[in-house]
Amino acid sequence: MFTLEASDDESQARAGTLQTDRGAIQTPVFMPVGTQATVKALQQRELLDIGAQIILGNTYHLYLRPGEEVLAQLGGLHRFMNWPRPILTDSGGFQVFSLQDLRTISEEGVAFASHLDGSRHFFSPESVVAIQRCIGSDIMMVLDECTPYPASRDYARESMERTARWAARSRQAFAETAERYGHRQLLFGIGQGSTYADLRREHMQRLVELDLPGYAIGGLSVGESSDEMYEIVQASTGVMPSDKPRYLMGVGTPLNLLEAIARGVDMFDCVMPTRNARNGQLFTTRGKINLRNQKYRFSDNVIDPEIDSYASRNFSLAYLRHLFKSKEILALQLATQHNVAFYLWLMRTARTKILAGEFRQWMRFFCEKYRAGDSDS
Amino acid sequence: MFTLEASDDESQARAGTLQTDRGAIQTPVFMPVGTQATVKALQQRELLDIGAQIILGNTYHLYLRPGEEVLAQLGGLHRFMNWPRPILTDSGGFQVFSLQDLRTISEEGVAFASHLDGSRHFFSPESVVAIQRCIGSDIMMVLDECTPYPASRDYARESMERTARWAARSRQAFAETAERYGHRQLLFGIGQGSTYADLRREHMQRLVELDLPGYAIGGLSVGESSDEMYEIVQASTGVMPSDKPRYLMGVGTPLNLLEAIARGVDMFDCVMPTRNARNGQLFTTRGKINLRNQKYRFSDNVIDPEIDSYASRNFSLAYLRHLFKSKEILALQLATQHNVAFYLWLMRTARTKILAGEFRQWMRFFCEKYRAGDSDS
């Protein structure tokens, strides 16, 4: 299912292709986050236009709303939201464990109260597989505990051990159930272990024994430093099989992504391009732009002529700034469109450079230009 | 500049073409409202796609934000917002007079406080022409007092007389100034007179003496009944020259538009399709749809297969309802796209039917289907 096409000589960067029933995914890949069956402020046709190969959905959110009954009756998430390409669904572990006071963990699973109406629910490794069968995502994720940061070594081990047992149960539940809409689904494992490199390695090795079609690094970008993050990524990819896709969950800035690619990661998701867009922050090839900055009041420059999206090339920063100041919806639409297009461009370009054997050189050049740009926030 | 192409035998409906420097406008026409240099939740390319021939801007809002300095430096409103087709700017009279306690009328003009920051400003017929020269709109509107409803006959006359004097001053100011961006601008007059048919006729006749390239009926859809509105429209169009375009400002529902077309109106603008979209109300060929209605929870029907827009044909009502319940931005985008596409379709179809001599018959058929549809709000 996963073909490795190139490995960089000067780093651990890889270019590959993951085959799914809804099409091939060329890696490195960024997956825009569509939590509630929509990538916020973007139309599905726009995601296709700017080259999104796969998007994310969220099991926790979709389970609460619209719910399994609606999803099943409308033919699964792809048909519900009219998205023809692959979808990966996060297990909901991150969201449930973020509820803090509203949830109780046991060996069996996790009891929680809905953030919408306080109603009580229970997620087990098995029920989360069942919900994702109903959603019909191409890539399903196992239920895990996203260990809070910082965590004591003892708690990190206890949590990791339970997550490891849950992964085995998830695999079993996956094997005992079938897909519902005629498209094959894949189940990925998630490695935890907080910031302890040995726990990370141990957990990942136990996951690899389950022989899953892909593995993720979870529980990062939760407060640790970039250096800690890179160290854990390195420790994890060091024991991940080279013939399976490697997914770093919830990370991060453009520079985080390139550093992780250099350490052997293939897949990414993050709310940063969409969320920051809605706050008026743009990611461009010449650095970050904060549209609320007074200096753009008269700027006739477009967002970024190097990025091939309608938003990137057709509107002045002065106009974008006016839209943000006026709280216009179009501000969110154009900024999101550009930021997601930028992240997709970054991954496509990284891939091209890996295939051409020029990744390290390009990455150095890109990072210099990005850091030196008219960054102002 | 305005060519009358067909007049209906069974009504006063007309089909015509208004020529501007930025292209021809085929009438009857609906002009989507883009108050602050954006039609809320719609991209400019989408407006082109669904066939918007001309959009509105608002002098009051654009004067306050982004302001004349930004507009002038960025080359006028068309260039600022990257909109290649005609723009009509309302004078701001309606907005200023809506400020109520925040404004003072005199013969010279109207003093008002900004709704944004309370700062003091003054609009005169001359300054409003000057601002619209700076905006660069293809069609400028004279400053008028939008007489409140209900108004005593005495106040309606006093207000109308002042608005008539302002129109003469506006024409003078227009003649003494030049366009700034190399595109010819037109100045339209606005008839007032509240719900008094004789005052309406008198004012319109005085406007006609100014020999302007187009005339509008203002001060309607402010609380009067539909029957009163139709009576005033009839009284107004009865004295409007047949060789000039006739514009009914701020009206209205799909049925209001057809009734006004039957009484000889050519041009319309209204926030209804955009504003109601953001509240979850869709206008369709089979009536109104309120997406918050529980009955759409499992509905696999698209919004309206007869309307040629991406939103109209590619998403189920169940999905749209989910987006509204989840407060997702995409809900506003898709609902707005459909509603505006519907209004544009309605005007295009009316025109086709007028040209084919089938307007009355089609209008009867359309209204029956619209009223009988699954209207639920």
Residues B195 and B311 in one domain: no
Please name the residue that has the structure tokens 């250099």.
A262
Angstrom distance (rounded) from CA B135 to CA B128: 10
Residues B128 and B255 in one domain: yes
CA distance B215 to chain A (A): 31
Preferred mutation among A74, A278, A298, A309 to probe B, highest tally of B CBs within 10 A: A74
Measured CA distances, B98 to B107, B108, B219 (Å) = 18, 19, 12
Tens of pLDDT, residue by residue, chain A (377 residues): 999 999 999 999 999 999 999 999 999 999 999 999 999 999 999 999 999 999 999 999 999 999 999 999 999 999 999 999 999 999 988 888 888 788 999 999 999 999 999 999 999 999 999 999 999 999 999 999 999 999 999 999 999 999 999 999 999 999 999 999 999 999 999 999 999 999 999 999 999 999 999 999 999 999 999 999 999 999 999 999 999 999 999 999 999 999 999 999 999 999 999 999 999 999 999 999 999 999 999 999 999 999 999 999 999 999 999 999 999 999 999 999 999 999 999 999 999 999 999 999 999 999 999 999 865 54
Count up the domains in chain A and report the number: 2
What rounded mean pLDDT belongs to chain B?
Answer: 97
Nearest by CB to A36, from B81, B315, B326: name it: B326
* Domain's final residue, options B230, B252, B269: B269
Identify whether B22 is part of a domain. Answer: yes
Q: Do A322 and B37 touch (CB under 8 A)?
A: yes
Residue B370: predicted pLDDT: 97
Q: In what order do the strands lie in the sheet with B2-7?
A: B2-7, B14-20, B23-27
Identify whether B295 is part of a domain. Answer: yes
Residue A311: predicted pLDDT: 98
Which of these is catalytic: B8, B266, B269, B304? B269
Residue A377: predicted pLDDT: 43
State mean pLDDT over B271-296. 97
Identify whether A26 is part of a domain. Answer: yes
Spell out the residues 6+ positions from residue B214 whose beta carbon is closer than 8 angstroms to its own.
Answer: B2, B18, B139, B186, B188, B189, B244, B245, B246, B247, B267
CA distance A334 to chain B (A): 8
Q: Does pLDDT of B269 surpass 80? A: yes
Angstrom distance (rounded) from CA A281 to CA A274: 10
Residue A5: predicted pLDDT: 98
* Domain's final residue, options A270, A300, A326: A270
Q: Please answer whether residues A315 and A2 qualify as being in contact, where contact means their C-beta atoms are separated by less than 8 angstroms.
A: no
Q: Among all residues of A, which ones are annotated catalytic?
A: 90, 269
Angstrom distance (rounded) from CA B9 to CA A271: 60
Residues A284 and A230 in one domain: no
Its ipTM equals 0.98
Instruction: Please give the structure tokens belonging to residue A169.
Output: 């149960």
Nearest by CB to B80, from A45, A310, A319: name it: A319
Identify whether B67 is part of a domain. Answer: yes
Angstrom distance (rounded) from CA A41 to CA B328: 8
Angstrom distance (rounded) from CA B33 to CA B41: 11
Spell out the residues 6+ positions from residue A148 whose beta carbon is closer than 8 angstroms to its own.
Answer: A97, A222
Identify whether A246 is part of a domain. Answer: yes
Nearest to A28 by CA among A343, A364, A370: A343
Residue A253: predicted pLDDT: 98
Q: pLDDT band at B374, cuts 50/70/90?
A: low
Which of these is catalytic: B8, B90, B144, B304? B90
Preferred mutation among A295, A328, A336, A337 to probe B, highest tally of B CBs within 10 A: A328
* CATH code at position B228: 3.20.20.105
What confidence tens digit (pLDDT) does each residue in B34-81 have? 999 999 999 999 999 999 999 999 999 999 999 999 999 999 999 999
Identify whether B55 is part of a domain. Answer: yes
Nearest to A254 by CA among A236, A293, A215, A281: A281
Q: Does pLDDT of B100 surpass 90? A: no
State mean pLDDT over B267-288. 98
Identify whether A377 is part of a domain. Answer: no
CA distance B330 to chain A (A): 5
Tell me which amino acid residue A202 is.
E
Q: In b/e form, how buried is each residue of B199-225, taking b as 16+ CB within 10 angstroms?
A: bbbbbbebbbebebbbbbbbbbbbebe
Q: Where are the alpha helices (DSSP H) in chain A?
A: 44-49, 59-64, 68-73, 77-81, 93-98, 125-135, 153-175, 197-208, 226-237, 254-262, 272-278, 310-314, 317-325, 329-355, 359-372
3-state secondary structure A61-84: HHHHCCCHHHHHHCCCHHHHHCCC
Spell out the residues 6+ positions from residue B154 whose beta carbon is closer than 8 angstroms to its own.
Answer: none
Q: pLDDT band at B377, cuts 50/70/90?
A: very low
Instruction: Please give the structure tokens belonging to residue A319.
Output: 């106009």
Angstrom distance (rounded) from CA B28 to CA A264: 61
CA distance A213 to chain B (A): 31
Angstrom distance (rounded) from CA B220 to CA B230: 10
Q: Do B330 and A40 touch (CB under 8 A)?
A: yes
List CB contacts (< 8 A) between B40 and chain A.
Answer: 328-330
Query: B357 is in which domain, residue-wise?
Result: 277-372
Nearest by CB to B319, from A81, A316, A322: name it: A81
Nearest chain B residue to A334 by CA: give it.
B43
Angstrom distance (rounded) from CA A325 to CA A132: 40
CA distance B42 to chain A (A): 7
Residues B258 and B299 in one domain: no
Nearest by CB to A316, from B74, B298, B322: name it: B74
List CB contacts (< 8 A) between B316 and chain A.
Answer: 74, 80
Residues B253 and B314 in one domain: no
- Crossing angle between the packed helical segments A153-175 and A125-135, to the nearest 10 degrees: 50
Residues B178 and B222 in one domain: yes
Residues A330 and A281 in one domain: yes
Nearest by CB to A322, from B41, B66, B325: name it: B66
- Strand duo A186-191 + A139-141: pairing: parallel
Residues A182 and A286 in one domain: no
Nearest by CB to B70, from A297, A329, A330: name it: A297
Residues B256 and B308 in one domain: no
Preferred mutation among B47, B74, B314 to probe A, highest tally of A CBs within 10 A: B74
Burial (CB count <10 Å: 0-12, 13-18, 19+), residue A348 = middle
φ/ψ of B30, rounded to 5, equals: -105, 135
Residues B281 and B252 in one domain: no
What confidence tens digit (pLDDT) does each residue in B176-219 have? 999 999 999 999 999 999 999 999 999 999 999 999 999 999 99
List CB contacts (< 8 A) between B73 and chain A.
Answer: 298
List CB contacts (< 8 A) between A70 and chain B.
Answer: 297-298, 318, 322
Nearest chain B residue to A44 by CA: give it.
B330
Residues B356 and B223 in one domain: no
Helix, strand, coil percentages for chain B (3-state, nearest 5): 45, 20, 40
Cβ neighbours around A247 below 10 Å, total = 27
φ/ψ of B245, rounded to 5, equals: -70, 145
Q: Do A319 and B74 touch (CB under 8 A)?
A: yes
Identify whether B377 is part of a domain. Answer: no
Spell out the residues 6+ positions from residue B47 whose beta carbon is closer than 8 angstroms to its own.
Answer: B32, B39, B55, B83, B340
Q: pLDDT band at B101, cuts 50/70/90?
A: confident
* Domain's final residue, options A270, A299, A333: A270
CA distance B322 to chain A (A): 6
Q: Do B40 and A328 touch (CB under 8 A)?
A: yes
How many CB pairs below 8 A link A and B? 110
> Worst-scoring range by mean pLDDT, A94-98, B169-173, B276-280, B281-285?
A94-98
Residue A155: predicted pLDDT: 97
Residues B337 and B258 in one domain: no
Chain B residues with CB under 8 Å of a chain A CB are 36-38, 40-45, 65-66, 70, 73-74, 80-82, 297-298, 300, 310, 314-316, 318-319, 322-323, 325-326, 328-330, 332-334
Please name the residue that has the structure tokens 């601008």.
B185
Question: C-alpha B377: how far from its chain's center?
Answer: 24
Nearest chain A residue to B38 by CA: give it.
A330
Measured CA distances, A215 to A86, A144, A212, B292 (Å) = 17, 13, 7, 40
Preferred mutation among A80, A295, A333 to probe B, highest tally of B CBs within 10 A: A333
Q: Do B325 and A41 touch (CB under 8 A)?
A: no
Q: pLDDT band at B323, cuts 50/70/90?
A: very high
CA distance B148 to chain A (A): 28
Preferred mutation among B40, B116, B309, B319 to probe A, highest tally of A CBs within 10 A: B319
